[in-house]
Structure formats: structure tokens, C-alpha cells
Amino acid sequence: MTPWAEAREAARELGDRLWPATGRPVALDRAVGAVLARDLTALVGVPPFDAAAMDGYAVAGPGPRWRVVGRVLAGGRAAEKTEGVGRAERAEAGGEGELPGGGAGGLSAADSGSHPVPGLPTSDPVPGPMPDPVLRPGEAVEIATGAPVPAGTDAVLPYEHATAARGEVAGEIALGRHVRRAGEDTAPGATVLPAGSAVTPAVVGLAASLGHDTLTVRRPRIAALVTGDEIAATGRPGAGQVRDAIGPMLPALAASAGAELTGLRHIGDGFDTMVEALASAAGPVDVVVVCGASSKGPADHLRAALARIGATVVVDGVSCRPGHPQLLAHLGTPEDPGTVVVGLPGNPNAALAAAVTLLAPLLRAMAGAPDPDAALPPTIRVKGAIRPHAHDTRLVAVRVMGGQAEPVGHDRPGSLRGPALADAYAVIPPGWSGPYAPLVWLPRG
């Protein structure tokens, strides 16, 4: 029997050794909350091309007047100017007036003399990337924020600072102003976040802007075997049957520790069944959770089956109540531990206690997930009388209110009623005389 705190430490230590195996690509919308297994690098630069930062005119040459020769929309849609010189002329009351800088005037919108930029289409807007137009000194194209600026662009003149009329636009520019240069925020190939970073919504958005569809995150995969001839998977249990109360907890228990339950199988009692189920579950996952069969009864084959398949048992029972028959083993070598097996006792509250003791610390270490208990004070006052166990740590379901913990009762090994009412387990060491004890939060999902 391993002491409770030591057992948790052993689980964490094993998880730390195993995490490199847990990196896997996950779709962006499922990656939030996980931790990056690899550095995040830019598949494309940001911006990916030279782009306008303002709606207005891309201009070539110092100005202060330019001939408007076309229009470019975001996405590279290029449109020949078909009416007037664009929005500035329509928006500005003075659009009909003389252009600053001694505008020539005289040209009507219809005969503005605009000519196609080389490569720019001359008919209606066409979809697709802009076919590499070049702006010559003295020319301008009307441009939308985010649209690729033509080669030769010296600046973008925002509508607000432009006066446009008769096919021309005028204004003051500073060289390079309002043009976002390709890669000026992030160069292609740059590392933008190190492995170990938490994936937040902003990280997911950033990854998308860098061209990623998936992120490689630390997300251990778990398969569960729920054992027992008497266990009913659904509905009201029949005579002599017990409804499975552990399987339904496992997806959330896994997720709250940064892992994913990928399969759950109900199996009957039987040594051969256990050996076959362990061997076939282990292949594709990082962790196999076995519920029940952990004790000393005639149908409790977990330890014998592990011995048969050559597993190494790391924690063989934990001196805590409930949950003492729980177990931690692995199927590989000390250098390469391979798939881990966690045995949760069949009594549901014992299974939950074991999940908090061995499973969650193991998974959090594998997933790089934070320990929710880290923010707790070292101990908290426990109200009421609790009888300590003679030699085991007791895990007592408590509600936490006003900085104190109050036992909720109903927390026998076979009952989840207490934990369902509770926020945490108070960790009561053998020989405890109160009133202060550490807490461990119950997973909340």
C-alpha cells in the first residue's frame, strides 16, 4: 500500500515521463483548453501579402495628384472603374470642385480617361487573385482595406484625406503609410508560441491566420473497461444487477484533466476476457482505465491479468478510504513506459476517490493541464467531528463555504450521493485530531 500523497506523486511522475507520446493533431475548434505539444510556427506570413490598411487609394509616386486607373477589392478582386472615381467623390460634398495641386479638371466621370492597369481586367469585377498589376508613378487605384496593393504602391491615401474628382485623386502621403507589408507582423516560418503554451481562443484564431487547420496538442487518449457480470449499462437494473455509475463519469473526468475518453467497453467477469480486453484496448490509447475487478474476490482478475501480459505495477493499492484497491501499472519498459493502466475500484465513490488520487494527476501531467488544487490554501478548517482511519487517509466529501469545509455525509464507498452534494474531499490523515485539513477539489466537468 502506497501512502496517498506518494501515490499521487508517482502518478504525476509517470505522466511527466509519458507526455511526449500524447501530442496529436486536433481540429482548431476542439483544441481550446489544451496545451501545445509543439512550437506553433507560421505556415504563411502575416500579412500574407502587401495589403492596404485603410479604405482609400493605393498611389504610386509622391503626388499630390494621381490618376485613378482602377479598383481593387479585398480578396484581390479587381474591378475596372465603371462610374466616377469612387466613393470619395460621392461622399465628399466638394467632390465636384477643383482638385488641390492645380487639378486639371475638365474630365467628366464618363470620360475620365482612366485606362486599364496592365493585367487588370477591363470588364466587370472578376473573382480570383489579382493578376499582378503594376502601378506606375502618378497612378492610383481605389482600394479596400485588406486588399493586395499593386506592385509600385508607395502609400495608401485614406478616403478621409483624399479629394477625388474627374478621374483624379489628390492628397498628402507619407511614403509607406497605410500599407501593411507582407510578413511585417510575422515572417513565414517564424515561431510564434513555444510548446507548452495554453491554447486559448486567441491562439486558435492566430493558428488559423497562420494557415493551420489543426494544432498538435497534448491530449492523452483513454479507453475504459467497465467490468462485472452484474453491471447494467443502461436503464433500470434488473434483479441482481447494478447500474454502471462509473462509466458515465469518465468522459468528464478525462476532459477535466485534459484527456479524451475515446472508447468504453463493458466486459463480463473472467480472466481470459480481462486479458483479451486489456491487450486489445491498450494498442491505440495512452491509458486504459479498468473499473472494478481490483480487489481480492474470485472475479477480481485485474492483477493476475496484468501479470499475464507482463505489466509493471507502479502503485499496488493506496492507503486511503475509499479507494484502497486502486492500482497504477504500465505495459512498457522503465525507459518507454508505453500504455498505462489505472485500476479504479468498483464501488463508485471509491472509483471517484481513485480518479482524484491516481488518474487525474497522471492525466494532468500527460496533458500539461493545470492542477486546480494549486490555488487552494494548504489546509482549511473542517467543521464537525470526523473520525480518522487508524492507518489510511480518509477522503471525506465536504461542501466548502465561507472558508470552511463541512462534511455532507452519504459518502460510503458504494454511494455517490455525498460527492454529488460536495465540492471537495477533505484529506484526513491517520490519527488526525482536527480541525484543519487539506482539500482536493472534486472534478466539476
- Helix (H) or strand (E) run with residue 253 in it: helix 250-256
Check binding of 171 to ligand MOO (CB under 6 A). no
Length of the chain: 445
Taking alpha carbons only, the member of 264, 267, 237 closest to residue 252 is: 264
Exactly one of 296, 374, 375, 387 binds ligand LQZAQKY5 (CB under 6 A); which one? 296
Of 50 and 316, which has the nearer Cβ to ligand LQZAQKY5? Answer: 316
Report the site for ligand LQZAQKY5 in 383-442 (rule: CB under 6 A): 413
Q: CA 206 to CA 193: how far, in whole Å?
A: 10
Check binding of 324 to ligand LQZAQKY5 (CB under 6 A). yes
Check binding of 413 to ligand MOO (CB under 6 A). yes
Check binding of 302 to ligand MOO (CB under 6 A). no
Of 233 and 401, which has the nearer Cβ to ligand LQZAQKY5? Answer: 233
Please give the size of the binding site for ligand MOO, defined by CB under 6 A.
Answer: 9
Helices and strands (DSSP H and E) totals, the chain? 9, 28
Of 171 and 325, which has the nearer Cβ to ligand MOO? Answer: 325
Check binding of 291 to ligand LQZAQKY5 (CB under 6 A). yes
Check binding of 300 to ligand LQZAQKY5 (CB under 6 A). yes
Q: Is 19 helix (H, G, I), strand (E, B) or coil?
A: helix
Q: What is the largest CA-CA distance in the chain?
A: 103
Exactly one of 67, 301, 324, 394 binds ligand MOO (CB under 6 A); which one? 324
Check binding of 348 to ligand LQZAQKY5 (CB under 6 A). yes
Check binding of 2 to ligand MOO (CB under 6 A). no
- Helix (H) or strand (E) run with residue 400 in it: strand 393-401
Helix/strand/coil (H/E/C) assignment for every residue in 145-198: CCCECCECCCEEEEHHHCEEECCEEECCCCCCCCEECCCCCECCCCEEECCCCE
Phi, psi at 306, each rounded to 5°: -65, -40
* HSE (side-chain half, CA atoms, 13 Å) at 259: 31
Exactly one of 18, 58, 130, 293 binds ligand LQZAQKY5 (CB under 6 A); which one? 293
Of 165 and 289, which has the nearer Cβ to ligand LQZAQKY5? Answer: 289
Check binding of 321 to ligand MOO (CB under 6 A). yes
Taking alpha carbons only, the member of 144, 80, 85 closest to residue 116 is: 80
Report the site for ligand LQZAQKY5 in 246-285 (rule: CB under 6 A): 246
Q: Is 372 helix (H, G, I), strand (E, B) or coil?
A: helix
Of 34 and 225, which has the nearer Cβ to ligand LQZAQKY5? Answer: 225
Q: Look at residue 230 and give the partner it binds from ligand MOO, ligand LQZAQKY5, none, a contact being a CB closer than 5 to 8 Å depending on partner kind.
A: ligand LQZAQKY5
Q: Cα–Cα distances in Å, from 199 out to 5, 18, 21, 185, 380?
A: 30, 20, 19, 20, 32
Check binding of 359 to ligand LQZAQKY5 (CB under 6 A). no
Of 320 and 331, which has the nearer Cβ to ligand MOO? Answer: 320
Residue pair 290/341 in contact (Cβ under 8 Å)? The answer is: yes
Check binding of 114 to ligand MOO (CB under 6 A). no
- The binding site for ligand LQZAQKY5 (CB under 6 A) comprises 226, 228, 230-231, 242, 244-246, 291-297, 300, 322, 324-325, 345-348, 350, 413
